[in-house]
Structure 1
């Protein structure tokens, strides 16, 4: 009988040693896959935000340049408008001068017809003292008539030049106005671009804030998982020490062995922490058709997949717990069918939900 008890204890010690070795290899490798994803998302969002900020600055510079060009063109438009108005006034004034000059010529012709001025001019020529005097008088009369004609022709040329200048000014005015409108349109498009970039930047800020909250939740869960593994490691170490002590005391009486066994059992019982409940467990996933990414507490299940749905009257939301066969998780969700001693564990895909099925599990409240 003694050998049988000792053999069982020896086997148990070996199992404890193996368990300790296993835990020792597991604890350093506790990885928060979702935490890594959150850090990657955070890094990507920060890089994207820096890129957006740089683009906003570049776009602002472009907008300011466009508005400066618009202002410059507006100044040219105003100056050209003044030139156009001045040219049009000069055209009117020159045309009025031509009309007056034509009136003078017409009156002179009329006077010649009425007063026989032509005969007088002829008499003036015939009354010349000499041939040289005759030529001079003839040249003077021709010059007077030529000058009058040249004056009218010069004024007509001035009108023509002014009209060409007016046409050029009008064409320039139209082009300047078209350019101004195009630049103003481009500036408005840049304004819209800046608005869209700022909205995207605000969305990134909101996303970063949500990631920070999700990281805090995940860090709590990982810390609790590490604490649980540490407790199990310590418990395994205690069991190993007890087993080694029992092996060294193989010559003791059965009653002593029984006492050691009793003490070991007591030690195991003492090592269990928190309230323990046995509940019916089902599974769900945000990947199911029509499911939401967010829990009743507002946590994004894509960032924090290790979550469970509970009846808040049984397990309050925010409780850190351990579900047998699932791991350490936070009570973050509720459900219409989750009433009483029922717990719904979350997976990131439907296949795992089907594999989990419906089962009875031990639930240990950690905090």
Structure 2
């Protein structure tokens, strides 16, 4: 009987020790896994933000090149218009001179001028005088011919210039089309990156929620295991004390007296019940409202810089301005956060920040250059929400 009681005591003590130690490795392994996943997600978000900043810079560079080509096209078309006007004017000059020459030739044939020129040559005193008079007559006719040839040559030059301008315009337009295509591809890439960033931010939020839930669950398990272990240890101590008392009183029993057997220690179901795993609550998926395509609006714009005293590198949505400086602060009820916005004179930016003073049709433009931000002042601009 004593042997059985001692075995029960040892079993209770072993159960208490196992309940105390079993939760520790599981807890550490689970939380380490979630921590590692959180770090990996944050690294992916940082990488995507860097790529977004580089893509925005490329889009703005392409837009500057497109603006420059459009200016070249406008100048070439204006020059082409002027050249066409000059060609038409020159054609009128040539036509006029041809009419004058035609009139003069007809007059010579129907008047005495031709006869007079012949008589003038016949009246030459000698051969040298004849040559001299013939030269004068030739010079008069050559002058008319030279004027017509000069006008025709000028017209040919203008026509060649017009063709050259047309070729230049065509070349620039081809380059402009290529840049617009590249800019469009970059815009699509930016949209994809934005979706990836949003997905990673949702994953990060879910991981953090799971980490907090798992930590609470494991803490509850540890507390329950500790309570069960303490209860088992208390039961073991009580059983040991009972055995000791029984052993000390055993010799005083009279012969023939039958000792009533003591009930054996029982391990209750509550002391060894398994702790149910709490369900993991995941964060609901948040879907951003789609921004209007090509929607324009007039806003009052000011500028700010992360280098101003008291300002942080991070926006209200978590964008690092030192990595991606092309960010504007908006009223989310007017321009949804995450929208891609084209701002004249500034470029393509992300609506990624808010502010207490940014209400209604007001925006703040982030500028890396503090002096440029201070010099910007307040301007009224017509912006376009691209997506």
Range into which the TM-score falls when normalised by the shorter chain: 0.5 to 0.7
Could you tell me how far 1:12 is from its partner in structure 2?
1.7
Deviations 1:263-314 (A, max 9, x none): 987xx87x959xxxxxxxxxxxxxxxxxxxxxxxxxxxxxxxxxxxxxxxxx
Pick from 194, 197, 205: which aligns with 1:209?
205
Deviation at 1:205, TM superposition (A): 2.0
For residues 316-327 of structure 1, the aligned pairs below 5 Å read 324=273, 327=275
Q: Bigger CA drift: 88-97 or 13-22?
A: 13-22
State the Cα distance separating 1:240 from its structure 2 match: 4.2
Instruction: Note if contact 1:35-1:219 (Cα within 8 Å) is conserved in structure 2.
Output: yes
Cα distance per residue 1:109-146 (max 9 Å; x no partner): 11111113222112222334454333222212112222
TM-score where L is the length of structure 1? 0.65
- Corresponding position: 1:145 with 2:128: no
CA deviation digits over 1:235-263, x for unaligned, max 9?
3333444455456556422699x99x789
Distance 2:251 2:102 in 1: 155
The question of whether the paired residues in 2 share the 8 Å contact of 1:23 and 1:229 is answered with yes
Structure 1 stretches of at least 4 aligned residues deviating more than 6 Å after TM superposition: 261-265
2: CA distance, partners of 1:121 / 1:254? 173
Which residue of the other structure, out of 166, 176, 181, is the alignment partner of 1:180?
176
8 Å CA contact retained: 2:23, 2:221: no
- After superposition, the C-alpha distances for 1:141-194 in whole angstroms (9 at most, x for unaligned) are 112222221221222122222111111111221222222122122212222221
8 Å CA contact 1:70–1:180 kept in 2: the answer is: yes
Contact 1:42–1:208 (CA under 8 A) maintained in structure 2: yes
The answer on whether the counterparts of 1:32 and 1:222 sit within 8 Å (CA) in structure 2 is no
Q: Measure how far apart 1:35 and its partner are.
A: 4.0
Give 1:82's aligned residue.
Answer: 78
Q: Kindly indicate whether residue 167 of structure 2 is the aligned counterpart of residue 157 of structure 1.
A: no
**Higher normalized helix content (fraction of residues):** 1
> Any idea what SS the aligned residue of 2:276 has?
strand
- Answer yes or no: is the 8 Å Cα contact 1:94–1:159 preserved in 2: yes
Q: Is the Cα contact below 8 Å between 2:8 and 2:265 reproduced in 1?
A: no
Gaps of 5+ in 2: 253-258, 282-387
Aligned mate of 2:166, from 161, 164, 170: 170
Q: Is the counterpart of residue 17 in structure 1 residue 8 in structure 2?
A: no
Aligned CA distance change for structure 1 residues 221 and 254 (closer, same or farther; 3 Å): farther
Alignment partner, residue 40 of structure 2: 44
Shift of 1:107: 0.8
Q: Is the 8 A contact 2:20 2:225 kept in 1?
A: no
CA distance in 1, matches of 2:52, 2:22: 48
Does the aligned pair in 2 maintain the 1:242–1:264 contact within 8 Å? no
Give the superposed CA RMSD.
Answer: 3.2
Query: How many pairs does the alignment contain?
Result: 274
Question: SS of 1:329's equivalent?
Answer: coil
> What secondary structure, in the 3-state scheme, does the structure 1 residue paired with 2:248 have?
coil
Aligned: 1:69 with 2:65: yes
With over 3 angstroms needed to count, the CA separation of the structure-2 counterparts of 1:63 and 1:255, relative to structure 1, is: farther
Distance 1:90 1:26 in 2: 97
In the alignment, is the contact (CA less than 8 A) between 2:73 and 2:173 conserved in 1?
A: yes
Report the CA distance shift for 1:24/1:187 in structure 2 as closer, same or farther (over 3 A).
same
Q: How many angstroms does 1:58 deviate by? A: 0.7
Distance in 1 between the 2:251 and 2:103 partners?
157
